[in-house]
Chains A and B, each alone.
Chain A
Amino acid sequence: MIYLYIIGVDMAQPRVFCLVLLTVALGAQALTPSHHLSLSDVERLKGLLSQPFTDLASAYYSIVGLSKLGAAVADENDACQFLKAQLDPMSVDSLFFAAEASQAIADCEMPVSNETRDILLAAVSEDSTVTQIFRAVSALSSLGLPLASQEVVAALVARIAKEDNVLAITTALQTATRLSQQAELGGILEEIEDLAARLDDLGGVYLQFEEGLEATALFVTAAYTLSDHADTEPPLKEDQVIQLVNSVFSKKSWDSRSEAFSVACAAAALSSNRFHVPVIVSTQGPATVSHSQPILHLLVTDILSNPLASANLLVESAQAVASKSVVLSQAPFSLRDGIFELNFMASQPASGYYQFTVAVTGDSRLVANQVELKVKVSTEVAVTNMDLSVVDKDQSIGTKTSRVDYPFKAKGSFTADSHQNFAMNFQLVDANTGVELTPHQTFVRFHNQKTGQEVVFVAEPDSKNLYKFELDTAERKSEFDSMSGTYVLHLIVGDATLENPILWNVADVVLKFLDEEAPAAIQSKTLYMPKPDIQHLFREPEKKPPTVVSNTFTALVLSPFLLLLILWFKLGANISNFSLSPSSVLFHVGHACMLGLMYVYWTHLNMFQTLKYLAIIGSLTFLAGNRMLAQKAVKRLASK
């Protein structure tokens, strides 16, 4: 279902080809345009084209663009003089711009000479680009000079084969519109279909060339102008036409004059060709009816927001969204001052949303003439039978019910403590029809004036659409933070279909809670104050034993060494056999150095340095030790 844009909304947003814009579900229904040029858009387009022009090209865009939109340049005489002054009779482009622009201005004739004609005719050949051929042909046709259509066709066909890009083929199509209808335009007409196949489909909503907006708009213009000229329906399906409309008219502020010109040409082509005219159905203001405004107003226009001359609007069906019942079928709109009207409230619809399917008839060219529309019927709500009561939990004491009428406040206040429940019953009805309503929002709000606490509950309807609300003071004390006191009670009723949302101060309720916490209200205030600083606690060093203990044990561990010395002495171990040979001296010195290195390793060095020194000392010690032990072995074996 596609929802319509409301006329008058200013769509001044940059070109956004993003699919987030539309959550469109293409159902069995045809596509309808999501973009068109509103009246303010058309004004903006005219404004851009009316900017003062500085050269022939900008003059051409402005003058011809404005004429397509049905407007004119500010000062036509000035423009004509400008064209004549800027004209360079030797340049094909210059002649083209001047000739075309002068055609759009009344009583503006460009000087023509034989040389002009020759230059233009010379440009029509296989060796010029398509753009050159187009400009020459257009200039010849605008200046009223004769041209050989068949030659042009031949040149175009040859050029299309060589320049196979979108802009070239579009330009070729445009050229064909200036040729005589007797010429063989069939081949060129087929190019429309080939070109349409090159369009990129974006999400089923937009259809455009990757070359951009200008190329797409120029294609649309060329296709419809040529189709009109050759009296052949363009091979574009209805959906494709709508997608093209979306692409061309989604951008509401244009970068350059040529872009604005292309959009203006496309708009003119789509609103007045002989085959496809997209129609826009939109509401004037929000699509809402109510008892005070029972009439639904719709506008039927073309894409330039001009009202369609011969159109009739018909409601095919109006179905309630909630109950799916059809309220209206085949009802015509009446036309008054260019606006279509229908008194929907005459069918006495209940409040809510209705899905309308409207059809535009009267012209066989109309495209996208079946439109879906969502209409809201709003009403006013009234609160009736509001009964407030304080009910005892064990129901031994009778309930005390008081009726309150909207918009007055209950006379006394109601007191409820932990043994009692506070209850509220009421009904919501449609003020006009008396039908019971169930709006989206029915809230009961308790507000403590002193502490600023606000507690909101939802009132729910039962099966008979009677609203009941019961407050169990003991159960709900956590929501009230157990703050006893006087609470002001409000009833809030709201819904999208209600014209009079209700905020009603019904009564004052005094609530008494057990175990009251004193400054509970301050809690909410301190929630957003800075919290106390956290000091970083570095890792505590492990607990060490007292130094005395360590020292004692150190002495204890070293004591066996003394024992060893004593034992050795007792055993008679001695060094009397110590030979003072150099190798043994070196060995012992080296060994002592190695032990010293161990100590130095413990205190200063790392493994790599130690290994380095160890290698040096160790190898020396090893050699010396080897020598020494060998000598010892020899001595031992000799003495055996």
Chain B
Amino acid sequence: MSNSVISVISRFLEEYTTKTSNKLKVVDAYLFYILLTGALQFLYCLLVGTFPFNSFLAGFISCVGAFILGVCLRIQINPDNKGDFLSISQERAFADFLLAHTVLHLVVINFIG
């Protein structure tokens, strides 16, 4: 059982490093960073307490929102998904990403206190 899990993981990693383009790996690195930041914020909240709660929420939601937007960007610029996004070019995806981020940052800064 554990054998198959390990073999699946190693296969996945191998495929990932070879098959994915550099551009996507850059975005993946960014996503990983966002994930770590969010996880660390949550850990702080668990350990030390929720004061000030609004700041915690703002930070955490910022991470969550950025992660989601990053995932959207990755989906949209993946050449394998071109069929699904015929009308959206890569530049258009990036522009959407930036616009959505502007709105997200506005809300987060408003809430962070």
Name the contact of B29 in the complex, choosing from A550, A553, A567, A595 (C-beta under 8 A): A567
- For residue A112, which residues in chain B have a CB less than 8 angstroms away from its CB? none
Name the contact of A630 in the complex, choosing from B22, B91, B105, B112 (C-beta under 8 A): B91
B106 touches A610 (CB 8 A): yes
Q: How far is the CB of B63 from chain A (nearest CB, A)?
A: 10
Given contacts A602-B112, A618-B102, contact A557 B48 (CB under 8 A): no
Name the contact of B40 in the complex, choosing from A560, A564, A607, A618 (C-beta under 8 A): A560
- For residue B4, which residues in chain A have a CB less than 8 angstroms away from its CB? none
B48 touches A561 (CB 8 A): no
Contact residues of B between 80 and 112, Cβ < 8 Å to A = 89-92, 94-95, 98, 102, 105-106, 109-110, 112
Task: Give the dominant DSSP class at A's interface.
Answer: helix
Given contacts A560-B40, A598-B106, A625-B98, contact A573 B26 (CB under 8 A): yes
For the complex, what is the distance from the CA of A392 to the CA of B33, rounded to whole Å?
93
Given contacts A553-B40, A633-B90, A636-B90, contact A543 B51 (CB under 8 A): yes
For the complex, what is the distance from the CA of A630 to the CA of B51, rounded to whole Å?
46
- For residue A563, which residues in chain B have a CB less than 8 angstroms away from its CB? 32-33, 36
Given contacts A545-B49, A630-B91, contact A560 B33 (CB under 8 A): yes
Interface flag for B30 (CB, 8 Å): yes
Give 1 or 0 for each of B34-63: 1 = CB within 8 Å of chain A CB: 001100110010001101000000000000
For the complex, what is the distance from the CA of A556 to the CA of B89, rounded to whole Å?
37
Q: How far is the CB of B18 from chain A (nearest CB, A)?
A: 14
Name the contact of A626 in the complex, choosing from B36, B44, B49, B95 (C-beta under 8 A): B95
Interface flag for A412 (CB, 8 Å): no
Q: A557-B44, A598-B105 are in contact. List 19 more A-B contacts (CB 8 A).
A: A545-B48, A553-B48, A556-B40, A557-B37, A559-B40, A560-B33, A563-B36, A564-B29, A564-B32, A567-B29, A567-B33, A571-B29, A601-B106, A601-B109, A602-B109, A607-B110, A614-B102, A629-B91, A633-B91
Contact residues of A between 597 and 623, Cβ < 8 Å to B = 598, 601-602, 607, 610, 614, 618
Interface flag for A17 (CB, 8 Å): no
Q: How far is the CB of B42 from chain A (nearest CB, A)?
A: 10
Interface flag for A14 (CB, 8 Å): no
For the complex, what is the distance from the CA of A618 to the CA of B103, rounded to whole Å?
11
Spell out A's residues near B (CB within 8 Å). Answer: 542-545, 549-550, 553, 556-557, 559-561, 563-564, 567-568, 571-573, 591, 594-595, 598, 601-602, 607, 610, 614, 618, 625-626, 629-630, 632-633, 636
For the complex, what is the distance from the CA of A595 to the CA of B49, rounded to whole Å?
29
A-B pairs with beta carbons under 8 Å apart, 6 shown = A553-B48, A556-B40, A564-B30, A564-B32, A568-B26, A571-B25
Q: Which residue of A lies closest to B35 (CB)?
A: A560
- For residue B102, which residues in chain A have a CB less than 8 angstroms away from its CB? 594, 614, 618
For the complex, what is the distance from the CA of A355 to the CA of B89, rounded to whole Å?
112
Given contacts A557-B41, A610-B106, contact A568 B29 (CB under 8 A): yes
For the complex, what is the distance from the CA of A544 to the CA of B32, rounded to whole Å?
31
- For residue A545, which residues in chain B have a CB less than 8 angstroms away from its CB? 48-49, 51
Name the contact of B48 in the complex, choosing from A549, A626, A630 (C-beta under 8 A): A549
For the complex, what is the distance from the CA of A601 to the CA of B36, rounded to whole Å?
26
For the complex, what is the distance from the CA of A592 to the CA of B23, rounded to whole Å?
23
- For residue A572, which residues in chain B have a CB less than 8 angstroms away from its CB? 22
Q: How far is the CB of B59 from chain A (nearest CB, A)?
A: 8
- For residue A543, which residues in chain B have a CB less than 8 angstroms away from its CB? 51
Q: Which residue of A lies closest to B36 (CB)?
A: A560
Instruction: Name the residue in A564, A626, A632 with the highest tally of chain B Cβ atoms < 10 Å from its Cβ.
Output: A564
- For residue A561, which residues in chain B have a CB less than 8 angstroms away from its CB? 33, 37
Q: Which residue of B lies closest to A606 (CB)?
A: B110
User: What are the 3 tightest A-B residue pairs by CB atom distance, in nearest-first order?
Assistant: A629-B91, A564-B33, A560-B36
Given contacts A556-B40, A557-B37, A633-B91, contact A567 B32 (CB under 8 A): yes
Instruction: Name the residue in B90, B94, B102, B105 with the highest tally of chain A Cβ atoms < 10 Å from its Cβ.
Output: B102
For the complex, what is the distance from the CA of A571 to the CA of B24, rounded to whole Å?
10
- For residue A595, which residues in chain B have a CB less than 8 angstroms away from its CB? 105
- For residue B92, which residues in chain A have a CB less than 8 angstroms away from its CB? 629
- For residue A630, which residues in chain B have a CB less than 8 angstroms away from its CB? 91
B40 touches A557 (CB 8 A): yes
- For residue A629, which residues in chain B have a CB less than 8 angstroms away from its CB? 91-92, 94-95
For the complex, what is the distance from the CA of A581 to the CA of B55, rounded to whole Å?
39
Q: How far is the CB of A188 from chain B (nearest CB, A)?
A: 93
Q: Which residue of A lies closest to B40 (CB)?
A: A557
B37 touches A560 (CB 8 A): yes
For the complex, what is the distance from the CA of A186 to the CA of B48, rounded to whole Å?
109
